[in-house]
Amino acid sequence: MPQHRELPVNGITMHVAEEGEGPLVLLLHGFPESWYSWRHQFGPLAAAGYRVVAPDQRGYGGTDRPDDVDAYTILHLVGDVVGLIAALGEREAVVVGHDWGAPVAWHTAQVRPDLVRGVAGLSVPPMPRGSVPPLVAARQRFGDDFYQLYFQQPGVADAELGRDPRAAFRRTLVGLSGDAVPPSSRGEGFLGAFPDPEELPAWLTEADVDAFVEQFDRTGFTGGLNWYRNIDRNWELTAPWQDAVITPPALFVTGDRDLVRGFSPPNLFELLPGTLPNLRGVHDLAGCGHWTQQERADDVNRALLEFLDGL
């Protein structure tokens, strides 16, 4: 079972779950999640001879939640990964990220390849820096109702999601999965896109929902939403890495029912080697939605172990 502790990292206190001994593998969660999103990966990776560490990232769970929105830029998040590697007494790691954790992993590998033995992204591919701020492009492409634009309003999505965290998790975890049933009509806000499921799919239990609800009942959603409120700021800060490739060995895992696919170029798989010149593998999981490592734990574990063993 994972062991839990807190570490001083990059000026904050970070909660981590860890299991196993061997080369370090960091597992970075997305929104709205926590270390618990990787519950199915600890045992298999640790049994295969790896030291597996999954933090609650900045703003989540048992990790500090700075009040300042500006404290959640991509450079802060990459700095947390760099600091965590050092706090764990290691000199390098394989960095694996899902959802928002994937951009953190990709950027860590891009700016500090000396620390990254390998990098894997689940759901979110490496996105080349565009010619205009991302939210400008999103408004042009998806309209004013796009969820990332909705998340920019301080306190609004925070209140909607925090009003009933259990309903929020049941609706989003099922509604963004490969088992989702499209609603007949769309309601208001973010959750209006997802009906309240009558039952949970096989990969998700009420105990899993309880684990997420317990954490977000304590912390609220503002910390995670502040990541979204730095999207355009991140575009400004990453200008020095315009067109820079990601050189460490890389892996990409996605599901063919993941909504993120709708944000990506239709020729995504053809474009990946241009950004990832050392791409070792791509796995496209049929019927899988957004919660990759939770929905398809066995497939993801096999892909990760094959990648790790090849490094």
Choosing from 98, 107, 283, 290, the catalytic residue is: 290
70 is catalytic: no
Give the separation between CA 278 and CA 251, rounded to whole angstroms. Answer: 9
**Chain center to CA of 187:** 26
Give the C-alpha distances (Å, rounded to integers) separating 2 from 38, 55, 61, 182, 205: 11, 11, 16, 36, 19
E-assigned strand segments in the chain: 3-9, 12-19, 24-28, 51-55, 93-98, 116-122, 250-255, 279-285
56 is catalytic: no
Give the separation between CA 94 and CA 115, rounded to whole angstroms. Answer: 9
Give the separation between CA 64 and CA 13, rounded to whole angstroms. Answer: 6
Choosing from 56, 64, 80, 99, the catalytic residue is: 99
Contact between 124 and 100 under an 8 Å Cβ cutoff? The reply is yes
DSSP state of 123: S
Rg, the chain, Cα only: 18
Task: Kindly write down the DSSP assignment for every residue of 102-118, as one continuous string.
Answer: HHHHHHHHHH-GGGEEE
- Catalytic residue numbers read 99, 290
